[in-house]
Amino acid sequence: MKAYQRLLSYVKIFTPSNEESTSSPSSHCQFDLAHALVTELHELGISDVTLDEHCYVYAHIPATEGLEHCQTLGFIAHMDTVSDFCDHPVTPVITENYDGKDLPLGTSGRILSSEMFPHLASLKGRTLITSDGTTILGADDKAGIAEILTALEQLFAEKIPHGPLSVAFTPDEEIGMGTAHFDVKKFGADFAYTLDGDTEGEIQYENFNACGAKVVFHGINVHPGSAKNTMVNASLVAMEFNSMLPDCDTPRNTDDYQGFFHLLSMKGDVSQAELQYIIRDHDANTFAFRQKTMKHIAELLNKKWGEGTVELTITQQYRNMKEIIDTCPWLISLAEEACRSCDVTPLILPIRGGTDGAQLSFLGLPCPNLGTGGHAYHGPYEHITVEGMDAAVKVALQIIKLFAQKQF
């Protein structure tokens, strides 16, 4: 089976995670895909497969004869999707021999525009997979799952020699909880790769340092006719808080290694308001300064409007895995070699986000990220090509071969 065929099946299984949930997994629907993957792993002939109560799927493949001495290599992808544009089932659409130009997405009124996405011209002649424009596609990260399973299928079919392998499919990556209950010991790998990137050939090991910030504003509400020098409008204080942040440090105005403050949501009235942010930066010192900036603004506004008016809570999410991967740089050079062997251009790029691998690296499992062939994740313009997925499968297979040959 081709990787894209698996993807078409997986995207029809509803798996959005829920950031407001306190359970693990955050949404029970993720078990639907997990159970299907357990069945598929068994059908591939893998006997050591488990699904735990937190919706983590683990599988172990013993080494072929003569390679039992090799260290264990792992591959990881996540089952959940974002919850945005995910209120009804996904309808995948296949466009063969794509012309690289603007493409209407079903009858949604949305257009996959070459002006918005200049890389589309490079996909000319490929088979493009999108949604109908009313939902996400779900290639993030069901493409990674499909590619891992397809690589394993080809590994067995072609009887390729390999060392011991571990595979894991995780829940709740999109809400930053993908490794909350990940059992590194049970997984059993010495090194691993996540397949959770964009363009095929991407090799990523520099991700954002990340935290979330919740800012609650407590106002004083009185009759507006007699409010002089008494009323404190929580919504206006919230607006004031946001205006004191650097106005250019937003996702729209930054790229490459530049960090940002990103306002995710806002709600409120006179009595109480709330702003939810994420803070991102590749540089640890700048990341710390961004947090200090928010704390300083909160202090200034509390002095102005009264102590307790602004309540700031910062929650750490993940760190830049570069400091861990720098101790085993051969993981990157091995992936580069694998790409070149498959006629895929290796692309060493910073991750403007995070992956399960970032957190796992700090749990003792160095875990760079590889591209899956997809683009424009997290929205209705998400798309991927059959050819990009095929290339990602080839790269994963070549990594397995090269890893088995490495002398530790």
**Number of C-alpha atoms within 13 angstroms, CB side, residue 26?**
24
Active site residue 80: yes
Q: Report DSSP letters for 117-146, one per residue.
A: -GGGGGGTTS-EEE--SSS---HHHHHHHH
Tell me which of 40, 141, 153, 173 is the catalytic residue. 173
Q: What is the DSSP string of 240-286?
A: HHHHTS-TT-SGGG--TT--EEEEEEEEE-SSEEEEEEEEEESSHHH
DSSP letter (8 states) at residue 232:
B
Q: Pairing state of beta strands 48-51 and 57-61?
A: antiparallel
Helix axes 30-43, 139-157, angle to 10 degrees: 10
Catalytic residue among 80, 198, 202, 206: 80
Per-residue pLDDT of the chain (408 residues; tens, 9 = 90+): 999 999 999 999 999 999 899 999 999 999 999 999 999 999 999 999 999 999 999 999 999 999 999 999 999 999 999 999 999 999 999 999 999 999 999 999 999 999 999 999 999 999 999 999 999 999 999 999 999 999 999 999 999 999 999 999 999 999 989 999 999 999 999 999 999 999 999 999 999 999 999 999 999 999 999 999 999 999 999 999 999 999 999 999 999 999 999 999 999 999 999 999 999 999 999 999 999 999 999 999 999 999 999 999 999 988 999 999 999 999 999 999 999 999 999 999 898 888 889 999 999 999 999 999 999 999 999 999 999 999 999 999 999 999 999 866
Active-site residue 173, yes or no? yes
Sign of CA dihedral 27, 6, 75, 202: negative
Residue 175 is given by DSSP the state: G
Q: Hey, which bits of 29-137 come out as E strands?
A: 48-51, 57-61, 73-78, 93-95, 103-104, 111-112, 128-130
What per-residue confidence (pLDDT) applies to 407?
Answer: 67
Which structural domains are found in the chain, ordered by start? Answer: 3-207+320-405 (3.40.630.10), 209-318 (3.30.70.360)
CA neighbor of 370 nearest in space, from 2, 77, 58, 137: 77
Question: Which amino acid is present at 1?
Answer: M
Strand order, beta sheet including 310-318: 260-268, 272-281, 209-218, 310-318
Beta-bridged to residue 267, according to DSSP, are 274
pLDDT at 354: 80
- C-alpha–C-alpha distance, residues 158 and 151, integer Å: 10
* Rounded CA separation 297/238 (Å): 11
Report the distance separating Cα 198 and Cα 210, nearest Å: 20
